[in-house]
Amino acid sequence: MSVELKTQQQKNVKFLDQVRISLRSNRYSKKTEESYVGWIKKYIVFNGKRHPSELDKESIRIFLNYLAVDRQVSASTQNQALQSILYLYKNILRRELGWIEEIKFAHRKKHLPVVLTKEEVKSIIKNLEGVVGLMTKLMYGSGMRLGECLKLRLKDVDLELKIITIRDAKGEKDRVSVLPESIIEELKLHISKVKNLHKRDKEKEIVVALPYALSKKYPNANKEIAWQYLFPAKSIVYNEDEKVKYRVHLHPSTYQKEFKKAVLKAEVTKQATPHTLRHSFATHLLQNGYDIRTVQELLGHNSVKTTMIYTHVLNRGIGVRSPLD
């Protein structure tokens, strides 16, 4: 490897660190940070590892067309790549790109969400137990995403009012959803176990991870019971720089693996994922007679148009009698 190429690679690594710092200071989620940095890295590699400041609109157009034509990515994937690059030029390089001509946009396919029947949901839940079973009931009963469920803290659950506060959801918004009455006793038992775990953690000087810079603003918050994760991980994370042991939430893959096993055991033939529980929550509420605006608020959608997709699910085949019958 030449000295010039090695120097260029080092510059690109430092540059990507700048991108990470910018995204964190603008309070983008970790998932978005990973996605944006990933796409910017691919953009740099695609252009022979040249620094983005040396590239122009033509380089962006060629990269986006390559994704659509050669890689045949979906419309949402191509758009994600575009948004990542636009963020890079606007917030890091401070360059206004304007309109990019002749982009071959990937065809956006309209897919209806996969929705489980109430019996299918019950069957999946029957094949789950412990923490994963409780999480499944909570997600289906409140319409939460998996990531939102994992980020819940003890302070976000109100057993008396029977509500859950979902903080920093998609679009950095907080919202309130319903807490299913049928799981309150099970939830109380689970919370008592989390409190016992917290007592043991305090003795071992293990603290909970806090979002943003809250640990600096509230130095003792990471030791308080209110900030403990509702679904903590069994393992501990050690931060070498801070010399601190952290308790984090359960890893999403742990849940996903158990959910997939339960779907197979329940012999559900639909392509069900944890997010299918959210689709099922919305559809079943509409079936039960709740209005679209209520469902919109519970799901946290900006526009009622997004929520309207569940009415299309309900309308499939309804009112149409097959000629065979």
In the chain, what is the greatest distance between 2 CA atoms, to the nearest angstrom? Answer: 76
Angstrom distance (rounded) from CA 145 to CA 114: 15
Angstrom distance (rounded) from CA 136 to CA 150: 11
Angstrom distance (rounded) from CA 206 to CA 105: 49
Do 223 and 202 meet the contact criterion of CB atoms below 8 Å apart?
yes
| Angle ∠(125,119,157) on CA atoms, nearest 5 | 45
Query: Looking at the annotation, which residues are catalytic?
Result: 145, 170, 275, 278, 301, 310
Do 113 and 284 meet the contact criterion of CB atoms below 8 Å apart?
no
Q: Encoding tokens for residue 141?
A: 């009963």
Do 126 and 267 meet the contact criterion of CB atoms below 8 Å apart?
no
Torsion angles phi and psi, residue 247, rounded to 5:
-100, 120
Angstrom distance (rounded) from CA 137 to CA 128: 10
Reported as half-sphere exposure (CB side, CA atoms, 13 A), residue 161 has a value of: 10
